Amino acid sequence: MRIQSLAIILMLAGGNAAQPAPTGWASWLAAETGSFSGTVVIGRDDAIEIEQGFGLADPSRQRPNRPETRFNLGSINKTFTAIAIAQLIQQGRLSLDDTLLEHLPDYPNTEAARKITIRQLLTHRSGVAQFMRAEFGAASVPEMVRRVGSEPQAFEPGMRQEYSNGGYVVLGGLVEIASGQSYDAYVAEHIYRPAGMTASGFLRAGEAGDAIALPPTGAAPGAGNPAGGGYSTAADLFRFARALRTGKLLDARMTEFVLRGTFAENPRWGFSLREQAVGGRTFIGNGGGAPGVNAEFRFEPAGSYTVVVLSNASPPAATNLLTAILNRLAGPAPFTAGARQ
């Protein structure tokens, strides 16, 4: 794997142009949120400028959303899985061009496993089936991988790009094999802990109580997996973004590759991150959505702002508010949120 430094190129290309810092976030959000249900964090450098809850975490009990309320992150869990893979590549335990068969010789589709690479799994080019079903239940990650691998391939590996939850379940299996730890334990020790994320992870039976935001239907949350469904707070995602940007999760070389290098490749990809130009600023981040779930986070890899919007309403509730906040940061240039990755 070749990792080239692109910081100087980014600076010469303009980086994040200096903009006056917006003021009066509380009054602006009060006018902008309307019926929005969720939480918002807007931070600059290492300081949170505003952290606020809106609407109800449990409409049936009139329990409000608060800054400490935990929300379903949807596909943002894929970013944690991708950063875990980046750490294991950094340690020499995996390589982007390793085939699946090298690490998972018992993968049900042996023919596909001979061709699928870790890079293809990360970039949704593996052809592994989409596969995100409730019947996963509380299955272990190896059992999830077995079920995913037993599904027919959607296409020949490398032939095209098609979003695949199943591919990230398989990546979770690779995390377990390469690290010797369960997926949950690895992410808790190597991502949540160094980032200072104290309220993040999958829910356990009976754990929810008053800590989480429920969807409007009041349905009980299901178990998550390496492709999605974990819970966190807006402040914890702020801490994750800062930790990733400042090299607490990866060494300098790998941080450069993850935050800048992959976006210079053709096709552009990212470790379950996407890059967005907003006026004179460049943000990267990820989002997730499902009925009663919409989560978004963005940060400036070469600037100072981080924005997190979490909602217990269906998309585009958080996406629309995130777009409005980024537009305010960028100034008058219009912006539309990009496609999910």
pLDDT by residue (tens digit) across 272-304? 999 999 998 999 999 999 999 999 999 999 989
Say how many domains are in the chain.
Answer: 2
Q: Are residues 299 and 228 in the same domain?
A: yes
Strands (E), the chain: 38-44, 47-54, 56-58, 63-64, 71-72, 231-232, 274-278, 281-290, 293-299, 305-311
Position 276, amino acid? Q
Domain final position from 150, 166, 185: 185
Strand partners, 290: 293
pLDDT at 95 over 50: yes
Please report the pLDDT score of residue 133 as a whole number: 60
Question: What is the sign, positive or negative, of the torsion defined by CA atoms of 225, 229, 235, 238?
Answer: positive
49 lies in the same domain as 90? no
Boundary-marking domain end, from 167, 185, 203: 185
Q: Does residue 299 sit within a domain?
A: yes
Q: Average the pLDDT over each of 51-55, 104-108, 222-226, 237-241 and give the range with the smallest value.
A: 222-226
- 66 and 82 part of one domain: no
Kindly give the pairing relationship between strand 63-64 and strand 56-58.
antiparallel
Name the band, by pLDDT with cuts 50, 70 and 90, for residue 341: very low
Digit-coded pLDDT (tens) for 142-185? 999 999 999 999 999 999 999 999 999 999 999 999 999 999 99
Q: Are 192 and 200 in contact (CB under 8 A)?
A: yes
Q: Is residue 16 part of a domain?
A: no
Q: Are both 88 and 166 inside the same structural domain?
A: yes
Is 17 a member of any domain?
no
My answer on whether 67 and 82 are in the same domain is no
194 assigned to some structural domain: no
Q: Domain residues for 122? A: 78-185
- Is 5 part of any domain? no
On whether both 92 and 50 belong to a single domain, the answer is no
What is the rounded CA–CA span in Å between residue 307 and residue 285? 9
Residue 335: what pLDDT? 43
321 and 226 share a domain? yes
160 and 103 share a domain?
Answer: yes
Asked whether residue 262 falls in the same domain as residue 322, the answer is yes
In a domain? residue 105: yes
Q: What is the mean pLDDT of residues 224-251?
A: 96
Quote the mean pLDDT of the chain: 90
- Tell me which DSSP letter residue 139 carries: -
Same domain, 85 and 61: no
Do 87 and 157 reside in the same domain of the chain?
yes
The residue-averaged pLDDT of 110-121 equals: 98
Residue indicated by tokens 């100087």: 8
The closest alpha carbon to 124, from 158, 149, 151, belongs to 158
Residue 215's pLDDT band (cuts 50, 70, 90): very high
Q: What is the pTM of this model?
A: 0.91
Same domain for 38 and 123, yes or no, is: no
User: Above pLDDT 90, what percent of the chain?
Assistant: 79
**pLDDT at residue 72, rounded to an integer:** 95
Q: For residue 7, name the pLDDT band (cuts at 50, 70, 90).
A: very low
Dist CA 251 CA 260 (whole Å): 14
* Residue 127, in any domain of the structure: yes
Token reading at 45: 């450098």
For residue 14, being part of any structural domain is answered with no
